[in-house]
Amino acid sequence: MSPARLLRLPQLARLLTLVLSLFLAVGLFAPQSQAAPVATPGGGTPAPTTPAGPAPQPATGTPQRGDGERQFASADQRAPLPLDTRPAEARPTAQPNGLSAAAQQACTISDFTGRTGSDLVQHIKAADVQCINSLFQLTGGDARGAFREEQMATVAYALRDAAGSYPGDNTTSVEQLVLYLRAGYFVQWYHKDDVGTYGTALQTAIRSGLDAFFGSAHSRDVAAGNAPILGESVTLIDSAQENVRYLPVVKRLLTDYDSATWNPAGMAWSVNPVFTVLFRGHQVDGFDAAVEADPSVLDALSAFAGRTNDLLGGGFDVLPYNATKELGRFLKDTALQAKVRPLAKALAAQSAPSGRTVHQWAAVAEAVGYYDAGNCSYYGTCNASDQLKSGVLTVNYTCSPSIKLIAQALDSTQLGTACTSLTGQDAFFHSVVKDNGPVKDDRNDTIEVVVFHSSLDYQVLAAAIYGIDTNNGGMYLEGNPAAAGNQPRFLCYEAEWARPSFEIWNLNHEYTHYLDGRFDMYGDFNAGMTTPTVWWVEGFAEYVSYSYRKVTNDGAIAAAARHTYKLSDLFDTVYGDQDRVYRWGYLAVRYMLEQHRPDMDAVLAKYRVGDWAGARTLVKTTIGTRYDAGFDSWLTTCANGACATTPTVPQVPECTAADTRQLDAGCARSNVAATTGNYAHFYLLVPAGTKQVKITTSGGTGNGDLYYNASSWAYTGAYTARSTGPDNSETLTVTNPPAGYVYFSLYAQQGFSGVTVTSAM
């Protein structure tokens, strides 16, 4: 969408994105794009509307997906990783469900819900860490059995007792006790009716446990054995909402940190949770007043951010960035501004809107923009978005007349690869949805694709430049498609974990949102959300992304085996449960397209004219529960191998006119060839009133460039529009073409053969 028409995003569940050896998470409690610090395993989740205060954080490394609408974030399609913060060499071998083989055998929920007192404590201490992680998912009676207040108090006192002789590693199972307590706070927050309330009894117990742990001499060990336990314990401070009480621990960790000794021991990810304690502290009663009374934590933050400047641009960039961001957040407190302003200014002065230190500069600029914009000249951050754009997004490349790439660091080969993937998707998309051109009043005839160099670059820089929440895997900004001059764009990033292979994360998922919004969904995003359409919007983006790339959706197949939802329930999906939104959305869309295509065509016909109530009647009344039994049977078939192959999409039929140069609506000419410097010519008869003509070329060898002329044969020296990519994947879209014959030519920049030319009106 255009910057002037940024629509509010729905609240989305956190996406924990892997960055090398860590997960990144961005909070949702700050103003839009003023997100939480980038976190290590155990990043934040969104707060429900009630109760007040910050939500506890999910299981270590829990992969929570975060796409959204057509102004939203993309699903993280990677498989879950082992839910463990230990170094890779210390982790047990993970099975597909994220648990080790031993943990799968020993992890029985009733062993936690049916035990009390010392029996419960001993079982927790004997359990695998990954087994404890699985308890973050408990609901209902299981949640109460495991996490009611008396159970939690028992475990908190056990932590107190174990911490008294804490040896600096997990030989006494302190990690399991801490993680169990974290799981309890998390489950109770989201399922209070199941678990029951927590009161002063638990507060007294948890304080005794945390006091004992942080009072232990070995909790300060700079050693690999202490690293994950210390990190989990700092996170537990926030889970228990004891952010005020343990501000001295925050200051101690910030002061003690020394990159030369801490980072090799894995301790960087033990200090990083202090930024979550600070971030979420602003939602805890008395926190701001405590900092006002003793602002020395601000000095600790400033010193930490200053002395870790050398980490910027490297693998631990997240630490100085988070410190800078959390320092800047205190600008919101007018009582602290006099203290914070010079500290933030100094950090801006030691960084720049480009190069190695850009993340730190962006952190200052964002905070100033939200909390002290009138004084931006003091910091040197006025027009921060423009400064960052010119300093960071230096690559501009035209894929086709309708697709422009803006990137941070793509080379020519990578640009060609990305363009080929995008332009080739058009024909696939149209063959699936069988549309008749753009929906009425849609002027989004071009798309701007912005590619950041890594997930961290996206989370930091996209937030600062475009003013969005980046707690996700990418975002499509549609804007108002009926507005003249509106520029839709989507933001994405290179998958740094795939290197040296090249991949742009969610490239095809986000591009599907653009195409779907243009050809299937009338109006802007808010219009499309008048009734529940998430099942289609997200499920279809997943369906096209996986199918077009010919990649098996293993996560959806695993979900199918669980038979969690009825089809009729999936029609009610809203944003929140990410497994339901993406994996189950994919399954629902695939089932409807493959098994009940006429019904899906009828629904799409309603979507295309904005008849949301009519579409809702079709799926909830006309279809209703009629297909629930069939869907359930299909899920079994899917889980047993039917979905292991990507869907077969109906092919566009061959054009039948005797003249092989003649194209018609919705047909193709195959095996087109020309020698270098020569042309393959085509013509098409356009009926009066036609809104759009689209010509797509794909496949074959060599390099053919596509040219269009409205009045006579098209040549390199006589054309109205052209598409000149590095291979045979070309697309030309002509809006409101003249009635009569129009002309297209494929020019052999390099001799080509085996090319398919597809026409659509």
Q: Please tell me whether residue 529 adopts helix, strand or coil conformation.
A: coil
**What per-residue confidence (pLDDT) applies to 489?**
96
Assess contact for 481 and 518: CB atoms under 8 A: yes
Confidence tier at 86 by pLDDT (50, 70, 90): very low
| Together in a domain, 679 and 748 | yes
Cα distance between residue 543 and residue 563, in whole Å = 19
Pick the closest to residue 254 from 307, 306, 301 (CA basis).
Answer: 301
Given a cut of 80, is residue 555 above it in pLDDT? yes
| Together in a domain, 535 and 622 | yes
Contacts of 479 (CB under 8 A, 6+ apart): 1, 2, 5, 7, 444, 486, 487, 488, 524
Partner residues linked to 696 by β-bridges: 731, 758
Cα distance between residue 611 and residue 514, in whole Å = 20
| Each residue's pLDDT tens digit, 106-138 | 589 999 999 999 999 999 999 999 999 999 989
Mean pLDDT of 133-149: 94
692 phi/psi in degrees, rounded to 5 = -160, 145
Assess contact for 494 and 507: CB atoms under 8 A: no
| Together in a domain, 542 and 584 | yes
The domain that holds 590 is classified in CATH as: 1.10.390.20
| Together in a domain, 610 and 545 | yes
Out of 640, 671, 703, a domain closes at 640
Q: 42 vs 17, 45, 363, CA distance in Å?
A: 11, 9, 22
Mean pLDDT of 702-728: 91
For residue 233, give both structure tokens. 């314990």
The domain that holds 713 is classified in CATH as: 2.60.120.380
Specify if 322 maps to a domain. no
The total domain count for the chain is 2
Report which of residues 69 and 469 the model is more confident about.
469
Specify if 142 maps to a domain. no
Given a cut of 90, is residue 325 above it in pLDDT? yes
**What per-residue confidence (pLDDT) applies to 341?**
98
Mean pLDDT of 354-377: 97
Mean pLDDT of 21-35: 31
Find the range with the poorest average confidence among 22-31, 428-437, 476-485.
22-31
Specify if 82 maps to a domain. no
| Structural domain for 613, as ranges | 530-640
Pick the closest to residue 570 from 561, 580, 578, 579 (CA basis).
Answer: 580
| Together in a domain, 670 and 747 | yes
Confidence tier at 534 by pLDDT (50, 70, 90): very high
Given a cut of 80, is residue 48 above it in pLDDT? no
Find the range with the poorest average confidence among 401-405, 544-548, 580-584.
401-405
Specify if 369 maps to a domain. no
Mean pLDDT of 402-418: 94
**What per-residue confidence (pLDDT) applies to 740?**
94
Cα distance between residue 682 and residue 415, in whole Å = 28
Pick the closest to residue 407 from 452, 348, 455 (CA basis).
Answer: 452
DSSP structural state of residue 533: -
| CA–CA–CA angle 93, 97, 101 (5° rounding) | 40
Arithmetic mean of pLDDT over the chain: 86
Mean pLDDT of 208-230: 97
Given a cut of 50, is residue 483 above it in pLDDT? yes
Q: Please tell me whether residue 79 adopts helix, strand or coil conformation.
A: coil
Out of 606, 640, 674, a domain closes at 640
| Together in a domain, 557 and 595 | yes
| Together in a domain, 636 and 534 | yes
| Each residue's pLDDT tens digit, 638-681 | 999 999 987 766 667 889 999 999 999 888 898 899 999 999 99
Specify if 352 maps to a domain. no
| Together in a domain, 671 and 634 | no
Mean pLDDT of 275-292: 96
Find the range with the poorest average confidence among 36-40, 382-386, 434-438, 739-743.
36-40
Specify if 687 maps to a domain. yes
Specify if 700 maps to a domain. yes
Mean pLDDT of 2-16: 25
Confidence tier at 37 by pLDDT (50, 70, 90): low
Taking residue 391's Cβ as centre, other Cβ atoms within 10 Å add up to 16
Given a cut of 60, is residue 481 above it in pLDDT? yes
Contacts of 383 (CB under 8 A, 6+ apart): none
Taking residue 685's Cβ as centre, other Cβ atoms within 10 Å add up to 15
pLDDT exceeding 90 applies to what percent of the chain?
74
Out of 610, 640, 670, a domain closes at 640
Confidence tier at 692 by pLDDT (50, 70, 90): confident
Specify if 483 maps to a domain. no
Taking residue 102's Cβ as centre, other Cβ atoms within 10 Å add up to 14
Contacts of 22 (CB under 8 A, 6+ apart): 40, 41, 269, 318
| Together in a domain, 623 and 690 | no
| Together in a domain, 555 and 596 | yes
Given a cut of 90, is residue 70 above it in pLDDT? no
**What per-residue confidence (pLDDT) applies to 649?**
60
